[in-house]
Structure 1
Amino acid sequence: MPAPRKHPDELRERAVREVRTTGRPITHVAKNLGIHKEALRGWVRQAEADAGERDDRLTTAEREELRQLRRKKTELRRANEIPKAASAFFLRRNCAPRGAMLIERWWKTTSVGPS
């Protein structure tokens, strides 16, 4: 589970809106609102990506979809490991005594075995 956000969504929206509408530098807006400038820069970039103004970042919807797909992939991998482990267990359990018997028979019938 992700950590709770440090800044409320209203503050994020207000800060991004102020940067985009006033044209003031991000550092000035961040200083006035008491936010770290790199945090505000990231919020502005994400807002631009969501608006379709940037192609170098995923939109919020795409990020969420990617997160869900990765989670599903992890679940499927775990689900696939269960039958593999079970089949390996039963294979060893059912074949080991038989394999040992076959080796013993071979040993007795060859010239290398006991006379």
Structure 2
Amino acid sequence: MRKSPKFSPEVRERAVRMVFEHRAEYPSQRAAVESIAGKIGCVPQTLLKWVQQHELDAGQRTGVSTTEVQRIKELEREVRELRKANEILKLASTFFAQAELDRRIKS
């Protein structure tokens, strides 16, 4: 069971925006993240993850964007469903083929 997100998307966006806006006031991005994370009530690792994901989505960092991750999940779900359907069709085909053979032998 997944727990509901503690922070709304608006809070996440605002926190990430604050990191970028106040980055120049700190010696490093990490220092800015640690300061702002304390102000919004999350751990620095969480805010850093949000910042990195924002950079990925904006094309500032190499990696898989959020939309690509969602598309991959959709495709994986579709593949699972198609494999299940294929297995059902194979079983049905075998069943009906066997029934046809049994019918021919009895005639």
1:82 and 2:88 correspond: yes
Task: Note the 1:10-29 alignment, pairs <5 A.
Answer: 10-23=10-23, 24=26, 25=31, 26-29=33-36
Partner amino acid for 1:66? I
Percent identity over paired residues: 39
Q: Which has the higher contact order (CA 8 A, sep 6+)?
A: 2
TM-score, structure 1 normalization? 0.73
Output the amino acid matched with 1:17: R
Residue 69 of structure 1 aligns with which residue? 75
Question: In the TM superposition, what is the alpha-carbon distance from 1:61 to its structure 2 partner?
Answer: 1.2
**1:33 alignment partner AA:** I
2:56 is matched with 49
Structure 2 residue runs of 5 or longer lacking an equivalent are: none
Q: How does 1:100-115 map to 2 (within 5 A)?
A: none
Q: Which residue of structure 1 lines up, in the alignment, with residue 5 of structure 2?
A: 5
CA distance in structure 1 between the aligned counterparts of 2:90 and 2:16, rounded to whole angstroms: 50
- Paired residues, number: 99
Return the index of the structure with the highest Cα Rg.
1
Alignment-derived partner of residue 37 in structure 2: 30
> Greater helix share, 1 or 2?
2
TM-score normalised by length of structure 2? 0.78
**Unpaired runs of 5+ in structure 1?**
100-115
